[in-house]
Amino acid sequence: MKLKLKTVFLLYFMVSLMGLVYALMQLGQRCDCREHDLPKDRTISQLRGELHKLHEQMRKSEPTKASKKTSLPTIYVITPTYARLVQKAELTRLSQTFLHVPQLHWILVEDAPHKTPLVRDFLAASGLTYTHLHMLTPKERKLQEGDPTWLKPRGAEQRNEGLRWLREMAAAAGGKGPTIESAVVYFADDDNTYSLQLFEEMRYTVKVSVWPVGLVGGMKFERPVVENGKVVRFHTGWRPSRPFPIDMAGFAVSLKLVLDNPEARFDGDAQIGFLESSFLQNMVTMEELEPKADMCNKVLVWHTRTEKPKMKREEALIKQGLGSDPNVEV
């Protein structure tokens, strides 16, 4: 019978306490060898035997836990990011969620001509397994100041760069092995909020798994509608006729499916709302989608964009020559 580590520690403490009490009882007593009879010797011998068994079980339990962790399918999370005042704050929030997810590899892709020191140092101190990449969005595809967020697809180049890295990594490994064939790819933006349960829901994706997303598209949630275990349509407030009217945070893809479809990518020139469809439509059909999160009845991810900070006082101080200390990193 296998003992839990907590039970082992409890038994170890009780046996140690009994030994301590017995030793204290002997202090100050005259040594009379005639009193050291066989029953006492037998009890001490049994206690020592129990201690030895507990030590062995404790020694064996740690490798078992480690092997269980490494046997989990890897989740590769691709996150586009760009320089802004709240960047480090949002990356901090996201990374501290990821720290609680076993067997996760974070692929962070900067929208920049080169890797920035802020993101490089942040990742180095994060405690996560990560890959740091960069890919600059062409000027004609960038949103300009004051543009609504929905005007142009965002993050396409960065997500494609993450997919490129995964394909090259898999090719270098021969395209086989449990860490590749069972792995999952998820596209997690740095301004969303994620339940830890979401990552366990997606971990065993066969092709494409789907679930609801909260606070999106001007609605409390959007979700796939499931009947008899199959996705039959989508509950969405805009263009439900799209091939896959789904939010970027609402699906995960098996790495094997990505590798089997080397041309699959996000189209940076896609129509508004069609970015997800441009990636999924040639890899999977609606009938093949795998509903998760209680048959798509539970929201486990939310769009919670951080409000853009107002810097009027900061700007006024700068005009007076009293700006912030440049040595302080925000």
What confidence score (pLDDT) does residue 2 get?
Answer: 47
Which residues partner with 90 through β-bridges?
none
**Contact (Cβ atoms closer than 8 angstroms) between residue 128 and residue 98:** yes
Pairwise CA distance, residues 207 & 81, whole Å: 26
The Cα-based distances of 292 to 115, 165, 204, 252 in angstroms read 36, 27, 10, 10
- Return the higher-pLDDT residue of 119 and 304: 119
The position carrying tokens 């796939």 is 224
Supply the CATH number for residue 200's domain: 3.90.550.10
* Amino acid sitting at position 292: K
The mean-pLDDT minimum among 155-159, 268-272, 304-308, 313-317 falls in 313-317
* Residue 96 belongs to a domain: yes
Residue list, annotated binding site for UDP-alpha-D-glucuronate: 80-82, 111, 154, 159, 189-191, 303-305
Which residues partner with 233 through β-bridges?
225
Nearest CA-CA partner of 257 in 161, 158, 201, 186: 186
Greatest mean pLDDT among 59-63, 114-118, 217-221 lies in: 114-118
> What is the band of 247 on the pLDDT scale with cuts at 50, 70, 90?
very high
Residue list, annotated binding site for Mn(2+): 191
Domain that holds residue 93: 75-302
| pTM listed for this prediction | 0.76
* Residue 244 belongs to a domain: yes
Catalytic residue check, 35: no
The chain-wide mean pLDDT, for the chain, equals 85
Q: Which two tokens stand for residue 77?
A: 């999370």
Residue list, annotated binding site: 80-82, 111, 154, 159, 189-191, 303-305
Domains in the chain, number: 1
* Residue 323 belongs to a domain: no
* Residue 256 belongs to a domain: yes
* 106 Cβ neighbours under 8 A, 6+ residues apart: 77, 79, 95, 98, 123, 126, 128, 129, 130, 131
* Residue 208 belongs to a domain: yes
* Residue 57 belongs to a domain: no
* Residue 103 belongs to a domain: yes
The position carrying tokens 């997690």 is 188
Angle between helices 87-98 and 117-124 in degrees, nearest 10 = 20
Residue 132 has pLDDT above 80, yes or no: yes
List of long-range contacts for 228-237, beta carbons under 8 Å, 24+ apart:
229/291, 229/295, 230/287, 230/289, 230/291, 231/286, 231/287, 231/289, 231/291, 231/296, 232/286
Pairwise CA distance, residues 76 & 177, whole Å: 15
What confidence score (pLDDT) does residue 217 get?
Answer: 86
Which residues partner with 77 through β-bridges?
106, 186
pLDDT tens by residue, 19-67 = 665 655 655 555 454 555 556 666 666 766 676 666 566 555 544 444 4
**Contact (Cβ atoms closer than 8 angstroms) between residue 275 and residue 189:** no
* Catalytic entry in 35, 276, 287, 314: 276
pLDDT tens by residue, 256-271 = 999 999 999 999 999 8
pLDDT tens by residue, 284-299 = 999 999 999 999 999 9
Would you report the helix, strand and coil content of the chain in percent, each value rounded to 5? 40, 20, 40
* Residue 157 belongs to a domain: yes
What confidence score (pLDDT) does residue 24 get?
Answer: 57
Residues in the chain: 330
The mean-pLDDT minimum among 12-21, 81-90, 134-143, 284-293 falls in 12-21
Residue 163 has pLDDT above 50, yes or no: yes
Per-residue DSSP letters for 56-93? HHHHHHHHHHHHHHHTSPPEEEEEEE---TTHHHHHHH
> What is the band of 176 on the pLDDT scale with cuts at 50, 70, 90?
confident
- Return the higher-pLDDT residue of 39 and 164: 164
Q: Which two tokens stand for residue 89?
A: 């704050």
